[in-house]
């Protein structure tokens, strides 16, 4: 984007590898919804996201818009347009062009506490009250907002963006372009405890539910000696947590995106280019393949494996291994088509119950009549 915060329609189209139309010299100051746009003034204006006819109806004549291929800009009275062969992909490029990111001045703020042994790459912007521990290594062009802490010996790549209040514990290794949203926590201890004797949890796993002897139990902490290893281009949402491993590291593959309030337990392995949506919980030592999508509130039991390219619908609860490529849904999770049949059958149950009651009445009358005739 240009230094003055504006870019021409033509330049923006070329940057997005998209086709433009109309007065391509018009200046774009930002993006807006169709109803919020105004006719372009001499100083430029916002460009509307109107990539379907139902959205384009709200466009103002004389404005600019991003349209889907096949839509007619003249029909909406536009001055300029950009055509999106894949609208959501173009939206990604457009929003990136106009996103200034967190407001962190270049250089290191006077209140930041950085250990003398830490090594910070060139081009860093480090905000107030940041704490960086001993032997930390951070690559070039880091943007670290206020109140972030990075623990001893952690190694982070180039172009990282750590939003306010993010926490990175000791012994974490992450690649380039890591993004941590506010409050994200990476490298906290795993939830690992043991009892001197067989615990109630271990007992019911063995007996499948029955309790032989309920007794007082005391939990002893199992310390977390492993770290966390994160690939390139990973994003972790606000208040999401990734626990460190017990002995080996918890691992998150390159390109994976983790939403707000997600919990990844100790020793888990998450593959490349996965999407873990809000409130997903993955229990310890589970293995998630590549390109897996876990929709909101999906729960994954401990010590199971989910194959590549699995998609789990919202609120699914996964208790057993899932083979690669399967689409699952439900509690417990089964094939989506099976779950749809289950739901249909459940909706029929009240009718079946009425029919059964009528059948029982009929059978009772017949038996009564047969008894009287005898």
Spatial contact of 48 and 33, defined as CB atoms under 8 Å apart: yes
Bridge partners of residue 322, in order along the sequence: 306
Picking from 328, 321, 325, the residue whose alpha carbon sits closest to that of residue 306 is: 321
Q: pLDDT band at 166, cuts 50/70/90?
A: very high
The set of residues, in sequence order, having a beta carbon less than 8 Å from that of 327 and lying 6+ positions away, is 310, 311, 312, 313, 335, 336
- pLDDT over 70 at 3, yes or no: no
| Residue 374 pLDDT | 62
- pLDDT over 90 at 205, yes or no: no
- pLDDT over 50 at 207, yes or no: yes
- pLDDT over 50 at 1, yes or no: no
- Residues 169 and 153: their CA atoms lie apart, in Å, by 9
Number of C-beta neighbours around residue 224 at 10 A? 23
Is residue 266 among the annotated active site residues? yes
Q: What is the pLDDT of residues 106-138, one digit of tens each?
A: 999 999 999 999 999 999 999 999 999 999 999
Query: Can you tell me the mean pLDDT for 255-270?
Result: 98
- Residues 15 and 103: their CA atoms lie apart, in Å, by 24
- Residues 297 and 327: their CA atoms lie apart, in Å, by 16
* Alpha helices in the chain, H assignment, sequence order: 9-15, 53-56, 87-98, 200-207, 336-373
Query: Can you tell me the mean pLDDT for 78-83?
Result: 95
| Residue 86 pLDDT | 82
DSSP assignment of 142-205 equals -EE-TT-EE-TT-EE-TT-EE-TT-EE-TTEEE-TT-EE-TT-EEEEPP--EE-SS--HHHHHH
Q: What angle do CA 297, 349, 347 make, to 5 degrees?
A: 45
- pLDDT over 90 at 24, yes or no: yes
Annotated catalytic residue, options 109, 176, 223, 266: 266
Query: Can you tell me the mean pLDDT for 27-36?
Result: 90
Q: What is the pLDDT of residues 59-75, one digit of tens each?
A: 999 999 999 999 999 99
| Residue 183 pLDDT | 98
Side-chain half-sphere exposure of 245, counting CA atoms within 13 A: 21
- pLDDT over 60 at 155, yes or no: yes
| Percentage of residues in the chain having pLDDT higher than 90 | 79
State the average pLDDT for the chain: 94
Q: pLDDT band at 146, cuts 50/70/90?
A: very high
Q: In this structure, what token pair is assigned to residue 68?
A: 């889907």
State which H helix or E strand residue 328 sits in: strand 327-329
Q: What angle do CA 335, 339, 341 make, to 5 degrees?
A: 120
Q: What is the pLDDT of residues 332-348, one digit of tens each?
A: 999 999 999 999 999 99
Residue 320 DSSP SS3: coil
């Amino acid at each position: 984007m240009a230094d003055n915060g504006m870019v021409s329609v033509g330049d923006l189209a070329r940057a997005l590898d998209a086709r433009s139309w109309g007065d391509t010299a018009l200046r774009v100051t930002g993006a807006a919804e169709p109803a919020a746009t105004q006719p372009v003034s001499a100083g430029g204006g916002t460009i509307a996201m109107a990539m379907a006819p139902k959205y384009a109806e709200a466009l103002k004549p004389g404005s600019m818009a991003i349209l889907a291929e096949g839509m007619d800009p003249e029909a909406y009275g536009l001055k300029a347009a950009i055509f999106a062969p894949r609208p959501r992909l173009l939206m990604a490029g457009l929003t990136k062009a106009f996103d200034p990111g967190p407001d962190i001045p270049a250089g290191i703020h006077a209140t930041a506490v950085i250990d003398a042994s830490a090594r910070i790459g060139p081009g860093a912007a480090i905000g107030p009250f940041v704490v960086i521990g001993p032997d930390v290594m951070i690559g070039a062009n880091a943007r670290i907002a206020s109140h972030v802490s990075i623990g001893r010996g952690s190694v982070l790549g180039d172009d990282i963006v750590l939003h306010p209040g993010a926490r990175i514990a000791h012994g974490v290794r992450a690649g380039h372009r890591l993004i941590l949203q506010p409050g994200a926590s990476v490298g906290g201890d795993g939830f690992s405890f043991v009892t001197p004797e067989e615990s109630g949890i271990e007992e019911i796993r063995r007996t499948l539910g029955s309790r032989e002897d309920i007794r007082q139990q005391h939990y002893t902490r199992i310390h977390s000696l492993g770290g966390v290893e994160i690939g390139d281009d990973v994003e972790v949402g606000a208040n999401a947590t990734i626990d460190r491993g017990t002995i080996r590291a918890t691992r998150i593959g390159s390109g994976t995106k983790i939403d707000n309030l997600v919990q990844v337990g100790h020793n888990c392995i998450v593959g490349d280019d996965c999407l873990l949506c809000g409130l997903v919980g993955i229990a310890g030592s589970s293995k998630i393949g590549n390109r897996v999508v876990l929709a909101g509130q999906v729960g994954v039991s401990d010590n199971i494996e989910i194959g590549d390219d699995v998609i789990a619908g919202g609120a699914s609860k996964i208790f057993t291994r899932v083979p690669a490529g399967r689409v699952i849904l439900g509690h417990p999770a089964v094939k989506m088509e099976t779950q749809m049949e289950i739901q249909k059958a459940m909706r029929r149950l009240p009718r079946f119950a009425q029919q059964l009651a009528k059948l029982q009445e009929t059978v009772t009358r017949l038996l009564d009549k047969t008894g009287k005739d005898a």
